[in-house]
Each structure stands twice: as C-alpha cells, then as structure tokens.
Amino acid sequence: MPRFHYRALRPSGAEIAGELVADNERDAAARLQAIGTYPIEIGAPAGRSRFTFRLTRGSRRLPARDQVLFTRQLAALVGAGVGLDRALTLIGSGTGRAAPLHLAGELLAAVNRGESLSHACAGHPALPRHYAMVIAAGEARGDIGGALDRLAAVLERSRETARAVLGTLIYPLSVLVVACASVAFLLAFVVPRFEALLTGFQHEPPLAMRILLACSAVFQVGVLPATIVAIALAGLVVVRWRDAGFRLAIARRVMRLPLIGPFLAKIEAERVAFLLGNLVAAGVSLPAALAATRAAIGSEAVRAGLAAAETGIERGDGVTDSLTAGGLLPDLAGELVRVGEETGDIAAMLVKASDLLRREVEATTGELIGLVTPISIVVLGLVIGAIAFALLGTVMEVYDLAS
C-alpha cells in the first residue's frame, strides 16, 4: 500500500504532521479521523518512490511472534503503573530479539516528540492497521493498559489460528514431499540399473517391472521439461500476484475446493468475527473497524466481502445482512450477530460467534489430522511397496535364470 504525508489537527488545536500507510487518500483521512484527529492536508510524500517504500516496509515488518511479545511486555508495564515513556525505555534497553527492541526505540522517539502512542503506531509500517485504532480507543477512555491487553489477545488468537492451519497441513505435505523424493530417486537411479541387467540376460521382465520401466523412461524424458514448465508457472504467478484481481480469482477458486474451501472459509470467518468484535468492543467505530479488519485479512475473497459489507452498511443495510450477504459468516454465527444487533451488544455477540467458530475449526482440525495421517501413511506405503514388489520380483526371476 502507498504511504501518504499528512497534516492534521488534534482536538486541542495543535497541529501534527507525519506519514502513514493507507489504500488511498480517503482511507488515510478515515484513519486519521479514527484516532481523533482532523486532517487538513493529505498527499504523497515528495522524493520517495513506491518501489523504495515497498522494500523498506518489507524489511521492517514485525513478525507475529514479536508483535505479541512486544504488546504483552508493554501491556504488563503500563498496567502495573509504569509511565509509557519509561515502559518503552525498559523494553528498548532489554535483551532478546532485535526487532521488538528497535520498535520500542522508534515509538519512544515519537512519544518524546509529543506524539500519542496511537499516532506513532499508525505511521509505523511494522504494525498492523488495527493496532493504532485499538490504542486510540484506549487513550480516549484513559485505559491504554486495557487496550494493549485486548490487542495482545487479538494478536495471539490470530497467531494460534495460523499455527493450527500450519499444523494441519504440515504432516500430509511432508509425507507428500518424502514420497515424491523417494519415487523420483528410484525411477531416476535404481530402476535403470535393473533395465541394464535384464537386457544382459535377454529376458522379458515381468509385467510389474515393464510398467515400472515405462514409468522410469517417461520420468527421465519428462523431468527436465516439467521442471522448466513448473518454474515458468511459478514465475508467472509471482508476477501476476501483484494484481489484486488475479489474487481475488485464485482466492475464490480455493474457497470453492471441496473440503479445503469450507474449512478455510470457516477459519477466515472466525478471524473476521474476533477481530471485528474486539475492535468494536475497544470503542472503534463500526466503519473504521470494518476497514481495519479488511486491511488485516490476507484472503482477497474475504477482503472483497468486507468491502461489500462496508458499502452495504454505508447505504443503510443492517450489519448482519451486510456480513452474511457475501458469505463472510455462517448461518449460526450470523444469527448470533443479529441478536447482538437487536440488543445493541453487537461486539459481544461477534466475539461469541468467533468462539463458536473457533471450536468448530478445532474440531475439524482434529478430524482432518485423524483422517489424513493414516491415509498419508497408507498411500506412501502402497507406492513404495508397489515399486519394491516389482524390483524384488525381478531380482527373484533373474536369480532363477542364473541358477
């Protein structure tokens, strides 16, 4: 996303200036208004290319683990009554991973210049967009410690969800990689030796060995062209990935896959409900919370659904109808949100809906692991066993001929 230079007024009338990351000028203005300031000038900074900014932003992005660590440390210190500048100084002067220490130092410098913590976080590319919004709401209530605690919970929940997905996929993917490597080694180096042996005996091999020899020949002829095509396709995807339309098309295709699509959709729905509920509960306005949630979600399909929900709410549609129209929330979660909308407690119902979805995701994850693990072992055993059977049968036949 591009970076914008801005000048804005605080409620006290003091003028502030800085830079922030946003989708466009309208989005930048909404972000400034969300933290309680009144923008008077927004524009692209002079003398800085978009390409240079992308390199800087990518190199300074703070990993999820470091975000959680930094937020938990700051929440504990501020909650214990330590002043904000003192807390940042203690974190920055500590030992451990360098990224949180650098972040603490940069935020401390901004606070010492007279900026609020939310304003310093809003302009920092290492932090997600909703970070500053939650802190700004805490500053408005005079409870920065509570806002940081809520932020840490949101970041930890997001990280745990990502790790759960990775834990579900890592075993079958590792089995697939081992199976492919083993089969490739046998077809490329082992089977051709048997072909030379059989040629010397001038004897037609068994049917299983003939099939294996044919597969080996196809593999040896086609492996190089297939590798080149795979590299070319990967390069094409990397180039096209910059196009939001291409990412949206891929995301929608993935969401339509059997078994995987509904599982991923449920995970994204849990993220949307939890993040949106916590932002609203922290005091962030619903339009700003929707915009921040959209910026925090990685799936282009979900981002498109959230953009449609924002449009629906702007034209007066209900929150529940806007969220469920694009398939962002399942039916049961949508009914909980509808109850919250009717009772005026939509934040709590969004969090409850996310808890419900989380339990469903955990149950589905356990079922998938329990199903995929034995299937992966059986498939790997069958493939390797079939190759071993063909090779062993050939060895026995050659032994009979030799004796």
Q: What is the pTM of this model?
A: 0.64
Co-location of 307 and 163 in the same domain:
yes
Residue with tokens 């919250």: 340
Domain count of the chain? 2
Co-location of 293 and 401 in the same domain:
yes
Is residue 105 within 8 Å of 132, Cβ to Cβ? no
Co-location of 282 and 166 in the same domain:
yes
In a domain, 245, yes or no: yes
pLDDT of residue 59: 38
pLDDT tens for the chain, residues 1 to 403: 567 777 776 665 556 777 777 777 777 777 777 777 766 667 765 444 333 333 333 335 678 888 888 888 898 998 888 888 888 888 888 777 777 888 888 888 888 888 888 888 877 778 887 788 788 878 877 888 888 888 888 888 878 877 777 777 777 788 788 888 888 888 888 878 777 766 666 667 777 778 888 888 888 888 888 889 999 999 998 888 888 788 888 888 888 888 778 888 888 888 888 888 888 887 778 888 888 788 778 788 888 888 888 888 888 788 888 888 777 888 888 888 888 888 888 888 988 988 888 888 888 877 777 777 788 788 888 888 888 887 777 777 767 766 6
In a domain, 141, yes or no: no
Q: What domain range includes position 21?
A: 1-60
CA dihedral 319, 325, 326, 330 (to 10 degrees): 80
In a domain, 109, yes or no: no
CA distances (Å), origin 335, targets 267, 311, 321, 342, 350? 18, 21, 10, 11, 10
Last residue within a domain, chosen from 20, 43, 60: 60
In a domain, 66, yes or no: no
In a domain, 180, yes or no: yes
CA distances (Å), origin 52, targets 1, 6, 119, 121? 12, 19, 23, 21
Last residue within a domain, chosen from 60, 84, 100: 60
Q: In the numeric block, which tokens belong to residue 392?
A: 């062993």
CA distances (Å), origin 373, targets 174, 198, 273, 311, 386? 11, 38, 31, 44, 20
Amino acid at 401: L
CA distances (Å), origin 277, targets 109, 136, 361? 32, 16, 18
In a domain, 85, yes or no: no
Co-location of 392 and 259 in the same domain:
yes
SS3 content of the chain, % helix, strand, coil (to 5): 75, 5, 20
Cα gap 192→215, rounded to integer Å: 11
Q: What is the CATH number of the domain that holds 163?
A: 1.20.81.30
pLDDT of residue 231: 93
Angle between the 129-141 and 260-281 helix axes, to the nearest 10 degrees? 30
- Residues with Cβ within 8 Å of residue 254, at least 6 apart in sequence: 260, 261, 264, 301
pLDDT of residue 203: 64
Co-location of 281 and 397 in the same domain:
yes
Co-location of 167 and 45 in the same domain:
no
Cα gap 198→201, rounded to integer Å: 5
pLDDT of residue 11: 60
